[in-house]
Amino acid sequence: MEVFHKIANYTAWRSKVQNKGLTIGFVPTMGALHAGHLSLIAASKKENDITVCSIYVNPTQFNDKGDFEKYPRILTNDRALLEELQCDVLFAPESTEMYPENEAKKESLDLGALGEVMEGQFRPGHFNGVMTIVEKLFRAIHPNKAYFGLKDYQQLAVVRIMNDQLDMGIEVIGCPTVREDDGLALSSRNMLLSSEQRAEAPAIFQSLQKGKEQLDQMGVKEFKEVVARKIDEFSNLKVEYVEVSDSYSLQPLDTWANAESAVCCVAVHAGDVRLIDNIILYN
């Protein structure tokens, strides 16, 4: 596996690859890799000649300094996993590569209503940070296709909008959420959970599933209340939001009749650890 810490070194290598007409699939991550990340790499390997995985804990997308500081960083371990998977390139940039000093400030893209709901509402500035880093990485890596998880449902919608605006000819692909056997969505933050928090965390997805099973018997408002109540029954879990939205626009729904397909997204605190998850309610 090739490992690059500097954009210029990657670019020199890439020009050789592109001269051979090989296609590049890209999986951006913040590391502490788990089977969710690895599924994106597997999808990329299937569809491209070369797969590039980036690992960079991007400071500008953290609205909480404590969350940034305690975010797990285990590069040696990650590198070994990527080697095992026969990923072709690891791009692990130094911070000065992504945020050079004296860089001109750019206007951030206006996401409109999409930027003001759910993660946009509860994590001010988060999506500006995401768009900043994804654009920088897209320009540095120059992939044909880029792979993102449906676990971060709203992030995928934001990246799609940004990608359309950038018009770089990259195909953005969404991949299914990988879960533990008990339903908990894999997340790098799961390793920060205490054993009590970990034991209760599966209730997040289980509550979404139970709510979905009873969907016909409830209006949207009641559905959200029922899901929130089921999660809050657990002493280590505290719901931040439960939202039901149109799966495409992500605008909140107040009746089932207003959308052809609906998704329910949640954010839950387990102590200091913030977990998100979602379920497609109908298509």
Instruction: Return the closest-CA partner of residue 242 out of 197, 276, 283.
Output: 276
Identify the H or E element spanning 46: helix 35-47
Whose Cβ is closer to ligand AMP: residue 14's or residue 126's? 126
Residue with tokens 């044909």: 144
The reply on whether position 198 binds ligand AMP by CB under 6 A is: no
Whose Cβ is closer to ligand AMP: residue 29's or residue 247's? 29
Contact positions with ligand AMP (CB under 6 A) in 18-47 = 29-30, 36-37, 39-40
* DSSP tally for the chain: helices H, then strands E: 11, 9
- Check: CB of residue 131 under 8 Å from CB of residue 158: yes
The reply on whether position 247 binds ligand AMP by CB under 6 A is: no
C-alpha 35/C-alpha 19 separation (Å) is: 33
Smallest separation, CB 74 to ligand AMP (Å):
12
Q: How many residues bind ligand AMP (CB under 6 A)?
A: 17
- Report CA Rg, the chain: 19
C-alpha 125/C-alpha 25 separation (Å) is: 28
- Check: CB of residue 56 under 8 Å from CB of residue 27: no
The reply on whether position 126 binds ligand AMP by CB under 6 A is: no
The reply on whether position 152 binds ligand AMP by CB under 6 A is: yes
Whose Cβ is closer to ligand AMP: residue 30's or residue 231's? 30
C-alpha 141/C-alpha 3 separation (Å) is: 13
Among 44, 51, 144, 177, binds ligand AMP (CB under 6 A): 177
Among 4, 91, 148, 234, binds ligand AMP (CB under 6 A): 148
Catalytic site residue 37?
Answer: yes
- Check: CB of residue 121 under 8 Å from CB of residue 168: no
Which region, judged by CB under 6 A, interacts with ligand AMP, from 5-13, 117-125, 177-185, 240-248? 177-185
Catalytic residue positions, numbered: 37
Binding site for ligand AMP (CB under 6 A): 29-30, 36-37, 39-40, 148-149, 151-152, 175, 177-178, 185-188
